[in-house]
Amino acid sequence: MKSDIKQLQNRGYATGEETDKYRSLNDNKIIDLLKSENAVERTIGAVIAGERKIPGSLPLLCELLIIEKKLYTKIALCEAIEKSGIDSLKYLLPLAGKIGTNQHKKIDLIDFKKKSYPLPRDIVIRIIIRIGPGALPYLESVLENGTAEQKVEIVDAIGHIAFNYNDCRSKNVLLNAYNGTDDELLKWKIIRAFQAFDSDEIIMILKELMNGNNKIFRDEAERSLMQIKKRRV
């Protein structure tokens, strides 16, 4: 049992009781915890900084997210950043697609049988999704004006939010992006996002894709159409 606890601590796990011991510290001391060499202390610092929304801590939390390696500390950083809501987007959006190497790099036939919207791989996008529909205007702006790397990840956030919150305000922005790009990876991501939009124009595009030569696009279009049909019931 002691060995298991030690392993958890090595990954930055902190109990509520451990965290409570630090709650009397002032904001500056909590910021110091975020910079600690001890992963458990960094986790505690992130938890308390998120709860208090310590002024000026948000840029540091996002900066630490880039370099943090310990699982539970990284989770605590994500949750702390999420608590700042829309204010965090200023710091998160430039990091889309830049943390880790797990993002999609090419089109692929995956998650085909998933009933829910596939969970994005990018850690920044996962945080933004939890912020919810309020993030959509900012995401749309990046899709229109961001880098190719950012756009590919941002589409995941738009699709996921639209699907799970039934908020389809981004339809025209997605259509413009789809019609305005030859980037195969971006088109594939948009086809996936189309599953959240019950629109005659989008359904027509999906049906056309099912008659095309690209098998992955065909199958992804089929899945999106199936999802649209299911959501009508």
Give the domain ranges of the chain.
2-83, 123-232
**CA nearest neighbour of 14 among 27, 3, 5:** 5
Q: How much is the pLDDT for 1?
A: 46
| Overall average pLDDT of the 43-65 stretch | 97
Task: Count Cβ atoms below 10 Å from residue 213 Cβ, excluding itself.
Answer: 6
**Identity (one letter) of the amino acid at 20?**
D
Single pTM value for the model: 0.91
The top-level CATH class assigned to 2-83 is mainly alpha
Banded model confidence at residue 3, pLDDT cuts 50, 70, 90: low
Structure tokens that stand for 204 in this block: 């027509």
- The CA radius of gyration of the chain, in Å to the nearest whole number, is 20
Residue whose C-alpha is closest to residue 57's, from 86, 24, 23, 91? 91
Average pLDDT over residues 116-145: 94
Per the structure block, which two tokens stand in for 61?
A: 């939390």
